[in-house]
């Protein structure tokens, strides 16, 4: 016993501890079983890809295989977006001003796939690996900081980061998802090591990551983190390990994407498998579902949600995108969250003690019940006001950055100041907790995205 204790102590000393942050406990955690999802409806949405101008490559009725290109980026023509399944193009959905919204594919269930050729990534150079990822449409899984846009194949990233754990509310358990996929995961990592001269960082949760798939990974730098959300955000991890300076680029991707890359090299095909966690207080039986990228929302939630007015979110409650009832899960999302719409008036809601309400501030009794699980809704709990309170954001923002000052610099569109205050190191998800606890109800993530887009435009 004594021996073990000492061992743990030594082991923990290498852990990077995040002190600032907040874990939000919600009702509706997915049960740890993976079910097979039955659907033949899929869609790839150009709106999932920030800064991409889609150029359509298919027409309604065309036959496609898994890996057949659907559209490409008009200004970076080597970046292709491909079909996750084999079948036919069912519909091309456009919105206002003919903006391309969805390319819907009807699966034929045969899983025919384009052959991109098997290979051992360790025997390939950067150019060959890049080419395979581009051709198969897997490349968009690789994104870059700054700006959180699809990585530029021509860049030399100083490092590649993979966060193996998600600390957001009701986040899926990656240990469960990667179980039994060790070989594909390792192959994926092998491929990634060819893409950078720097390190590939694999970041584990010091307390909860148990999976051998992660712990036994070779050829990468394993780092351990402990602390509340946003400890699992890749932005925080980059900031603690190898922060981004002006002119530098870091690439990042999710663990499931690493497996997809691995399978590309072992099978030669684009295997767009994805495990999605269906979560949230309004889900009757929250669980994990195995499907392909871009599956139809209704396949998950039909007969499995409550009867109240709901909001469907592709992703988690902090950063996800609102889905229409006939929508499709986003390209990057590993989670669906369903919560109640909060369009009700509340009599003297600000004045009453407010038992059972969620608040980070200690002006509600909620701080006495740290482990309570909430069934939150979308009510704003107030009106938009000027930024009055100070010192609040700093409590949930574990960067060496002044959040309020950076936000004000963005609002003033002061390019120099944004750069000086560290905009390259953040993206909107890093500000999600600030937005949640903000008394002035400012839409902070929207502001950060505007700032990032402005910087990207200035710098290109």
Partner 1 sequence: MKFLRDFLDKQKPQFEKGGRFEKLHSTFDAFETFLFVPDKVTTTGAHFRDAIDLKRTMSVVIIAMLPALLFGIWNVGYQHFLSLGQSPGFWPVVFYGLLKVLPIVIVSYVAGLGAEFIFAQSRGHEVNEGYLVSGMLIPLVMPVDIPLWMVAVASIFAVVIGKETFGGTGMNVFNPALLARAFVFFAYPAKITGDTIWIGGLSKAEGVVDGFSGATPLSYAASGVMDKLPSMSDLFFGFVPGSIGETSKLAILIGAFVLIATGIGSWRIILSSILGGVSMSLIFNLFAANDYMKLDPMTQIMMGSFLFGTVFMATDPVTASQTNKGKWIYGFLIGFFAIMIRVFNPAYPEGTMLAILLMNAFAPLIDFYVVEANIKKRLKRASLGVKPLKQN
What residues between 244 and 273 interact with partner 1 by CB under 8 A?
Answer: 245-246
CB-wise, 57 or 226, nearer to partner 1? 226
Among 48-56, 140-148, 262-270, 390-398, the segment contacting partner 1 (CB under 8 A): 390-398
Close Cβ partners of 121 (under 8 Å, ≥ 6 residues apart) = 129, 187, 190, 191, 194, 265
What are the structure tokens assigned to 217, written together? 């990974």
What is the spatial distance between Cα 282 and Cα 284, in angstroms, rounded to a whole number? 6
CB of 242 to partner 1, least distance (A): 6
CB-wise, 167 or 239, nearer to partner 1? 239
Among the listed residues 324, 281, 267, the one whose alpha carbon sits nearest the alpha carbon of residue 113: 267
Which residue in 97, 218, 362, 370 binds partner 1 (CB under 8 A)? Answer: 362
CB of 436 to partner 1, least distance (A): 5
How many alpha carbons fall within 13 Å on the CB side of residue 31? 8
Q: Looking only at residues 149 through 168 of this chain, which bind partner 1 when binding is defined by CB under 8 A?
A: none
Which residue in 9, 61, 386, 460 binds partner 1 (CB under 8 A)? Answer: 386
Asked whether position 361 contacts partner 1 by CB under 8 A, the answer is yes
CB-wise, 81 or 161, nearer to partner 1? 161
Phi, psi of 82 (to 5 degrees): -115, 165
Among 17-25, 29-37, 126-134, 263-271, the segment contacting partner 1 (CB under 8 A): 17-25
Q: Looking only at residues 73 through 112 of this chain, which bind partner 1 when binding is defined by CB under 8 A?
A: none
Cβ atoms of 404 and 432 closer than 8 Å: no
What are the structure tokens assigned to 224, written together? 């351990």
Distances (CA, A) of 407 to 383, 415, 445: 19, 12, 10
Q: What is the largest CA-CA distance in the chain?
A: 69
Cβ atoms of 431 and 444 closer than 8 Å: yes
Q: Give the x/- contact pattern for partner 1 in 428-457, rule: CB under 8 A.
A: x---x--xxxxxxx-xxxx-----------
What is the spatial distance between Cα 378 and Cα 128, in angstroms, rounded to a whole number? 47
Phi, psi of 189 (to 5 degrees): -60, -40
Asked whether position 320 contacts partner 1 by CB under 8 A, the answer is yes
CB of 377 to partner 1, least distance (A): 7
CB of 26 to partner 1, least distance (A): 9
**Tokens 């955000």 -> residue:** 233
Question: Which H or E run contains 239?
Answer: helix 234-241
Asked whether position 365 contacts partner 1 by CB under 8 A, the answer is no
Distances (CA, A) of 23 to 27, 238, 282: 13, 20, 20
CB of 166 to partner 1, least distance (A): 16
Asked whether position 25 contacts partner 1 by CB under 8 A, the answer is no
SS3 441: coil
Number of chain residues interacting with partner 1 (CB under 8 A)? 82
Asked whether position 221 contacts partner 1 by CB under 8 A, the answer is no
CB-wise, 76 or 358, nearer to partner 1? 358
CB-wise, 50 or 134, nearer to partner 1? 50
Q: Looking only at residues 321 through 350 of this chain, which bind partner 1 when binding is defined by CB under 8 A?
A: 322, 337, 339, 341-350
Bridge partners for 44 per DSSP: 103
Give one DSSP letter per residue of 115-162, joined into a string.
------GGGS-HHHHHHHHHHHT-GGG-EEETTTEEPPTT---SEEEE
Among 53-61, 105-113, 179-187, 352-360, the segment contacting partner 1 (CB under 8 A): 352-360
CB-wise, 98 or 362, nearer to partner 1? 362
CB-wise, 182 or 342, nearer to partner 1? 342
């Amino acid at each position: 016993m004594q021996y073990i204790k000492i061992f743990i102590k030594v082991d923990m000393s290498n852990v990077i501890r995040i002190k600032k942050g907040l874990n939000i406990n919600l009702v509706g955690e997915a049960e740890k079983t993976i079910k097979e999802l039955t659907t033949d409806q899929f869609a790839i949405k150009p709106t999932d890809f920030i800064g991409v101008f889609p150029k359509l490559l298919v027409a309604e009725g065309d036959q496609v295989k898994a890996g057949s290109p659907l559209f490409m980026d008009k200004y970076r023509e080597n970046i292709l977006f491909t079909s996750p399944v084999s079948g036919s193009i069912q519909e091309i959905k456009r919105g206002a001003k003919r903006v391309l919204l969805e390319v819907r594919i009807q699966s034929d269930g045969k899983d025919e796939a384009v052959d991109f050729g098997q290979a051992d990534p360790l025997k390939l150079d950067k150019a060959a690996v890049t080419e395979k990822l581009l051709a198969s449409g897997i490349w968009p899984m690789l994104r870059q900081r700054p700006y959180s846009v699809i990585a530029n194949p021509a860049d030399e990233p100083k490092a590649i980061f993979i966060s193996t754990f998600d600390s957001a509310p009701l986040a899926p358990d990656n240990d469960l998802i990667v179980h039994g996929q060790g070989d594909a995961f390792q192959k994926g990592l092998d491929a990634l090591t060819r893409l950078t001269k720097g390190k590939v960082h694999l970041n584990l949760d010091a307390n909860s990551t148990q999976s051998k798939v992660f712990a036994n990974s070779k050829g990468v730098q394993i780092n351990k983190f402990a602390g509340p959300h946003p400890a699992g955000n890749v932005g925080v991890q980059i900031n603690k390990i190898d922060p981004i300076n002006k002119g530098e680029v870091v690439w990042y991707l999710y663990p499931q994407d690493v497996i997809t890359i691995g399978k590309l090299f072992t099978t030669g095909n684009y295997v767009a498998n994805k495990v999605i966690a269906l979560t949230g207080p309004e889900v009757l039986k929250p669980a994990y579902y195995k499907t392909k990228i871009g599956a139809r929302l209704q396949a998950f939630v039909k007969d499995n949600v409550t009867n109240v007015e709901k909001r469907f979110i592709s992703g988690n409650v902090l950063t996800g995108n609102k889905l229409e009832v006939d929508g499709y899960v986003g390209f990057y999302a590993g989670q669906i969250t369903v919560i109640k719409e909060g369009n009700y008036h509340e009599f003297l809601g600000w004045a009453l003690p407010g038992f059972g309400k969620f608040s980070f501030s200690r002006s509600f009794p909620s701080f006495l019940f740290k482990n309570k699980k909430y069934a939150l809704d979308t009510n704003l709990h107030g009106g938009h006001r000027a930024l009055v309170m100070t010192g609040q954001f700093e409590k949930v923002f574990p960067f060496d950055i002044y959040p309020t000052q950076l936000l004000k610099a963005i609002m003033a569109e002061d390019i120099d100041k944004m750069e000086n205050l560290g905009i390259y190191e953040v993206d909107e998800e890093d500000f999600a907790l600030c937005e949640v606890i903000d008394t002035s109800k400012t839409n902070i993530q929207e502001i950060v995205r505007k700032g990032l887009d402005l910087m990207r435009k200035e710098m290109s």
